[in-house]
Amino acid sequence: MRILITGAAGFLGSHLCERLLLEGHEVIGVDDFSSGQPRNIALLSQHSRFHFIKADASKPLSVEGSLDWVMHFASPASPPRYLKLPLETLLVNGEGTRHLLDLAVEKGARFFLASTSEIYGDPLVHPQPETYWGNVNSIGPRSIYDESKRYAETLTTAYQQAKGVSTRIIRIFNTYGPRMDAEDGRVVTNFIVQALRGEPLTIYGTGSQTRSFQYVDDLIEGIRRLMDVEYHQPVNLGNPEEYTMLQLAKLIQELVGSKTPFTYQPLPQDDPRQRRPDIRRAKELLGWEPKVPVREGLARTIAYFRGLLDEALPQEIQP
């Protein structure tokens, strides 16, 4: 297949590109490095079937030749990043989604939207099934990301219904692994980097709020399976195993071998109190569930960041 992927230099986009290249497909990666990392493109560009376009995914793209898939993974995803780039985040998830859907129509391609568990907001239903409509503050600081992803889902659904585009929508729950940006401000990277540097681990609020963490390989497997199924409704992809922030911090301390103390900061506005996916739909539709235990996945991620902080490059993929 010939597949276009926006956000190719990002954490998730680069892993997806790698998986598809290793399967023998041709991949056109798009990124403007506003939140993606050039090192991820350096790894991919060694591959003869990878082509890169440096472009802003919120603007119309001109692509020569046929396409089988248009896959939209471009967007800042961590609160510190999208709070610094509020208009860019709104545009890439709004206008960017529309332009890429138009490209899919032009090429007769299928369209894949990377949405997020953030569309559930601070949920009043736990765990969260795809049928839950969410609890989002439409003018709060997190709405930049939450509402723009909700709109992206609406656009995707409208194009499927009005123009017959074959679409897929995934709602991604917290995902971690190698190639995350050490400075992106997400909880896993914060804790790992702080522990490796011997710095106090920053806990927001009391640390009793919960999240569910899936290793990146599990997510990519779920994405790949959904590509092969004709299904247009959203699908949760996440790990139902739930951790408080204090539990996660203590586990990372143990795996790093760190005894650094905790420091407590006020809880950010609209920060969800709990988050855990109901993955029954993914199990029934895709035969999918996460396989990598959190302890094992975190150990791999810590090893990656230990090398990164020692200025070692990630392992190269094979052409």
pLDDT tens per residue across span 237-289: 999 999 999 999 999 999 999 988 999 999 888 788 889 999 999 999 999 99
- The answer as to whether 109 is a domain residue is yes
pTM of the model: 0.93
Number of domains, the chain: 1
Q: Is residue 94 part of a domain?
A: yes
Distance CA 241, CA 288 (A): 15
Measure the CA–CA gap between 38 and 30, rounded to whole angstroms.
12
Catalogue the E-assigned strands of the chain: 2-6, 26-31, 50-54, 69-72, 110-116, 167-172, 175-176, 201-204, 210-212, 214-215, 234-237, 242-244, 262-265
The model's confidence at residue 311, banded by pLDDT at 50, 70 and 90, is low
| Separation in Å, CA 288 to CA 112, 131, 238, 247, 273 | 18, 19, 10, 26, 27
Contact criterion met (CB below 8 Å) for 110 and 232 = no
Q: Which residue has the higher pLDDT, 200 or 183?
A: 200
Asked whether residue 57 is domain-assigned, the answer is yes
Q: Is residue 66 a part of any domain in this protein?
A: yes
Residue 229 lies in a domain: yes
Domain containing 72: what range?
2-177+215-240+275-292
Residue 82 a catalytic site member: no
What would the mean pLDDT of 71-83 be, rounded to a whole number? Answer: 90
Residues 6+ apart with CB under 8 A from 81: 35, 184, 185
Determine, yes or no, domain membership for 195.
no
Region 154-171: mean pLDDT is 98
* pLDDT (0 to 100) of residue 316: 47
Pairing between β-strand 210-212 and β-strand 167-172 as defined by DSSP bridges: unpaired
Does the structure show a pLDDT above 80 at 13?
A: yes
**Does residue 127 lie within any of the structural domains?**
yes
Position 183 pLDDT exceeds 60:
yes
Q: What is the DSSP letter of 205?
A: T
What pLDDT, on a 0 to 100 scale, did the predictor assign at position 315? 46
pLDDT per residue as tens digits for the range 188-212 = 999 999 999 999 999 999 999 999 9
Phi and psi dihedrals of 162, rounded to 5? -85, -30
Whether 186 is in a domain gets the answer no
pLDDT, mean of residues 75-89:
89
State the sign of the Cα–Cα–Cα–Cα dihedral 248, 254, 256, 258. Answer: positive
Q: What is the average per-residue pLDDT within 161-170?
A: 98
Largest CA distance in the chain: 57
When pLDDT is averaged across residues 23-51 and rounded to a whole number, the result is 92
**Residue recorded with tokens 């009793």:** 208
CATH of the domain at 50: 3.40.50.720
pLDDT band at 106 (very low <50, low <70, confident <90, very high): very high
Q: Are 7 and 152 in contact (CB under 8 A)?
A: no
Residue 314 has pLDDT above 90, yes or no: no
Catalytic residue among 82, 145, 159, 176: 145
Average predicted confidence (pLDDT) for the chain: 93
